[in-house]
Structure 1
């Protein structure tokens, strides 16, 4: 077969939803922090936006992967490990969840090493995470088709907009090839051109 060994090209017309900063803040404000589930959900959403991790990576996190003292998370994917910093608000939300909500969700279990638990005391599934996110997006009145990957894309785009180094960001996202970042740089160039046309008096 002459096609063996030839890598298929990725689609060139990749597009994705990006949430605004206001939409992110609105989404993060939705969980009810007076309940164990609300504390869990707020911590999960903060971790997702703080790290840009894939939803499968967030759901598979263990307690041992979180270092609150030094504000970072260990992420394990495909036999590789990366260390991702997290901002102070995310640290506080994780601490609050671990100390005040997770013991309740454990349902008397003592050996479950998973960080984020469902209401039955087991590992929260990807589907469960999606449902949580969808509900809060609806409650917040965010019209876009929000998925966990939307927060990952928003995380990456917001960091690049604020001057983050693209190579550092590639490491944080867990991309092995810098070409994987093209979709973000293309988006930012298109956004810059749109703003130029909108604001230049002769455009």
Structure 2
């Protein structure tokens, strides 16, 4: 069986036996055509002659000369590994040359926080006496004070505020955590509970939800997203601000202020401290920039 026929046999296997969608199978075909083309032009010339070093060279070529993103390299290598594994199982190849090849790790994406001054501008943009403004301020103050995910914030019930000092958040996997609430957030929430929530509650059915929409039902994630977008636009913030921006800013500002990474891990509800440590990269980058700008012999 020639290489093209072998690839077509694998693609039929994906479409018929594994039930992959037509578009997915077409993407596999494009990826395998790239691989077979490289084998003809730069590699050993045939699948039967491929060794692990050849697949590794193909991976380096994609990352280097071809200029593909790590995600694209990983996707193509997945197709290549599947092809080799299939041909070994079918008895067409004696050895799976792609078995030991792993895709490149994608670069760590640093979380995007905004400066404290921008957080202050964002929160100030919710000032106002209208019930919606009072609610919006309470929501944003709580997000920044606790590092809560927006899904955790809108899922809060009034009873999750414990003595006005801490809040009980329900995170991923149903894991609960208790997070302190700062004085600014406490005042904003108290004002909302007294002046705004009763207005919304009177428009709908009784609900234990803390944050309510204008019709009296629990505030949705999408509505919370729009609250933040509206505040960001009124604050004139150039950077894209999302619900997660306040969570990132919460963590970054705590670490920059000297908080221990394991404390921040607990506050964020991360299962592993390794997830939290990415924020330390942000603070190190900030220190490096300040050093470079200020030290006479740093540049």
| Fold conserved between structures, TM > 0.5 | yes
| Residue 104 (1) aligns with residue 199 (2) | yes
Instruction: After TM superposition, list the pairs within 5 Å mapping 1:112-191 onto structure 2.
Output: 112-191=207-286
The CA distance in 1 between the partners of 2:255 and 2:186, in whole Å, is: 22
TM-score normalized with structure 2 length? 0.63
- Of the candidates 171, 174, 189, which is equivalent to residue 79 of structure 1? 174
- Of the candidates 110, 113, 118, which is equivalent to residue 15 of structure 1? 110
Q: What RMSD, in angstroms, separates the aligned Cα atoms of the two structures?
A: 1.8
Question: What is the CA-CA distance between 1:17 and the residue it aligns to?
Answer: 2.1
TM-score normalized with structure 1 length? 0.91
Structure (1/2) with the larger helix percentage: 2
Question: What is the CA-CA distance between 1:108 and the residue it aligns to?
Answer: 4.6
| Residue 198 (1) aligns with residue 287 (2) | no
Larger Rg: 2
The CA distance in 2 between the partners of 1:80 and 1:49, in whole Å, is: 20
| Residue 88 (1) aligns with residue 189 (2) | no
Question: What is the CA-CA distance between 1:9 and the residue it aligns to?
Answer: 9.0
Question: What is the CA-CA distance between 1:25 and the residue it aligns to?
Answer: 0.9
Give the 3 Å change call, closer, same or farther, for CA 105–12 of structure 1 in structure 2: same
Question: What is the CA-CA distance between 1:32 and the residue it aligns to?
Answer: 4.0
CA offsets 1:4-46 (integer angstroms, 9 cap, x no match): xxxx997433123221111111111112431111110000000
| Secondary structure at the counterpart of residue 74 of structure 1 | strand
The CA distance in 2 between the partners of 1:79 and 1:182, in whole Å, is: 23
| Residue 28 (1) aligns with residue 148 (2) | no
| Secondary structure at the counterpart of residue 185 of structure 1 | helix
Give the 3 Å change call, closer, same or farther, for CA 81–196 of structure 1 in structure 2: same
Q: Is the 8 A contact 1:17 1:144 kept in 2?
A: no
| Secondary structure at the counterpart of residue 278 of structure 2 | helix
Q: May I ask how many residue pairs the two structures share in their alignment?
A: 197
The CA distance in 2 between the partners of 1:187 and 1:146, in whole Å, is: 17
CA offsets 1:123-172 (integer angstroms, 9 cap, x no match): 11111111111111011110001001011000000000101111111001
- Of the structure 1 ranges 149-158 and 186-195, higher mean CA displacement relative to structure 2 is found in 186-195
| Secondary structure at the counterpart of residue 118 of structure 1 | coil
Give the 3 Å change call, closer, same or farther, for CA 14–100 of structure 1 in structure 2: same
